[in-house]
Every structure is written in C-alpha cells, then in structure tokens.
Amino acid sequence: MNTYSGVWRCIQRLYQIYPFEVETIFQSVGIAKSLVTNQNVSMPVEIILNFVIEAQSIFKDELVSINFGRMAQVRPNYGEAFGLAFVYSRNLEQGLKLLQSYISTELEGLNFLITEEKNLIKIQSVVDPDIKHPSIYENLGLSILASFIRSKRFQIKQINTKTVTQVDDIKEKSVFNCPIYTSCEETSLLISKKNYLKKNALSNPSLVDYLSTILESKAYKISSKMTLTGKVERLMNNYVNHFNLINIHDISNQLGLSTNSLRNQLLKENKTFREILNDFKLKKSKHMIRDGLSVKAISYHLGYSEPSSFVRWFTCQTQFTPTSFKMNAR
C-alpha cells in the first residue's frame, strides 16, 4: 500500500518549516533528501508511518500524528484533484463524502466513516487490518482531514484519539484549537451539523463533477490492483463497532456480485467468506489489544455478548489469552 503526492507535499512543507528536524528524520528512516524537490512522490505506507514515529521523538510530541496537519500547514490544494474537489464542493457534507469516497487516492488503506449524533457530525478514521501501527495511520488521516475542515474556517468541536499519553484523560487545546481526548476507543472528530450543511460560497458543481471523474479513474486503478479478498476486507472495515452485522449478502451487494458469484471467485483465491471474516476479526482484535482497549470493549466491538466468549475464541485462534498476547506484543 502507498501514500501519494498530496501526503508527500505535506512532508515537503514540514521540511520548509523545520528543515533540521525533518532532515534528521529522513536520515533515520532512509528517505533520500534529494526527493524533497520532487512534487510527485509515492511512498509506501510503512515508510510514512516510520517517519511519523520518528517525528514523535524528534519533536518530543506524543501527538505529532494528530498535530501533523497543522504543523505542516496542510492546505486542500496539496492533494490536487482530491483537495480541490473538497474546496469547490456544494457544502461540507458533499466535500466530506467526496473525501470518504476517494481518500484511497492519497492514503491507501484508510477510510472515513460519517455518522450523525444529535446536532453533531462524527467523522471516524479507520484503517485496513493489514496496516502496521493502525492508530498512528488513523491519526495521520484525521489530521489531514481536520486541516481541510479548518481551511474552510469551520470549528472542530473535539478530537478523539487512541493514542495513550503520559497524562491520563488529557483535555488540552490541540493545534486545531479544540479539546483533544486521548486513550479513546476510536479516532474521530466532531463538527456542528449546522456547519456541515452550510452552503459554500465557492461552490462549483461543474468543476466538482470534472474532478470527481479524475478521482474515480485514479481510485479504479488503485482498486483494480487489489485481490477480491482485499476488497472484501476493506468493505468489512466499514462495519466498525458493528462487526457482528457483517454478512456475505451485504458484502456481495456492495461488490455488485451475487452471493454465489462472490463465493466462487473467492475460492479461486483459495479463500472462503467465513475464513476472511475470521482472519479480519483476529487482526482487528490484535490491533485493539495493542491499542490498550479492555477485553470488555473489544468484545463489544467484535459483537460478542460476553467477554468470556471473546477470550475463548481469541485463545483458540492464537494460543494466547488477550492479556498474555499484550505482554508478548510489547
């Protein structure tokens, strides 16, 4: 999986602001300094994550992955068609749904889930199960999204991150000028529903339609490289907090296939839907254990009625209890 030019331009901007620090990080993670002058660089996700992890140490900031967007003074135009479609969208609702549809054109393996909560809109950042350091990647995606929202002068009500800091239940002002809550069960931000629906004075429907065509083509090229198993896992990821609702009928419909066709095509990859679902839940549970979630919380996310049922399943899959797995994962 890769990140694309928009993410690289953020790092270029960070280099302009903090040249000594970023050069030190480049040396540590093996990024050639000569790439700084190149505008169109695709970089494996793992290298970008290593960059952010090293940045936490260099900048002495546990929340670098959340604050990254503002530190690098990210602007929507960094992502070209991706960002410009957001700028000229009808309102924040359309802009965010465009980002949700095409985020893979900048950050592969990342997705945004948008839900309404009373008078608020929640945007949650989730990543594919194969991503290493998932909470950091979720933070990075949310940080760029928050920068886009702030560029339109909309207030973010709060940011939630799974990151565990030295201070428990921290409620400090982030660089996005809103409270940031750490040690949460999800990576998300909240905005006002009123702002979500407010008409954009720069709205340009024709331009957005044109940019959407470009993004659709780019997204298709990226998607066409994925296995069917990968596509199924990515759709499963959209059921975050409701993994018990995952079923082959809904997934096949989303893929535009019949249930039998999906089963037969998966068999060509030597997979069954049940195996993919089981592997997916196992990867997710391991991520949540590493992120410090309680057995009770993980059981809820995976759809188990009792924590003891989850513990038995996890132990059967790994030969470790969740507690012993966490100790060995350190």
pTM for the whole structure: 0.83
Phi and psi, residue 202, nearest 5°: -95, 5
Chain centroid, CA 108 distance in Å: 9
What string of pLDDT tens digits covers the 330 residues of the chain? 788 778 888 888 899 999 999 999 999 999 988 888 887 788 888 899 999 999 988 988 888 888 888 888 777 776 678 888 999 999 999 999 998 888 888 888 899 999 988 899 999 999 888 888 888 999 999 998 998 888 887 889 999 998 877 654 455 555 678 888 888 889 999 999 988 888 999 999 999 999 999 999 988 888 888 899 989 998 898 887 778 889 999 999 999 999 999 999 999 999 999 999 999 999 989 988 888 888 998 898 888 889 999 999 999 999 999 989 888 766
Q: Which two tokens stand for residue 201?
A: 């004075």
Instruction: Answer for the pair 62, 165: CB distance below 8 angstroms, yes or no.
Output: yes
In whole angstroms, how large is the CA radius of gyration of the chain? 20
CA pair distance 33, 54, nearest whole angstrom = 16
Burial 137-147 (b: 16+ CB within 10 A, else e): bbbbbbbbbbb
- Using CA of residue 261, residue 264, residue 270, residue 271, what is the dihedral sign? positive
Which domains, ranges and CATH numbers included, belong to the chain? Answer: 2-205 (3.90.1520.10), 227-329 (1.10.10.60)
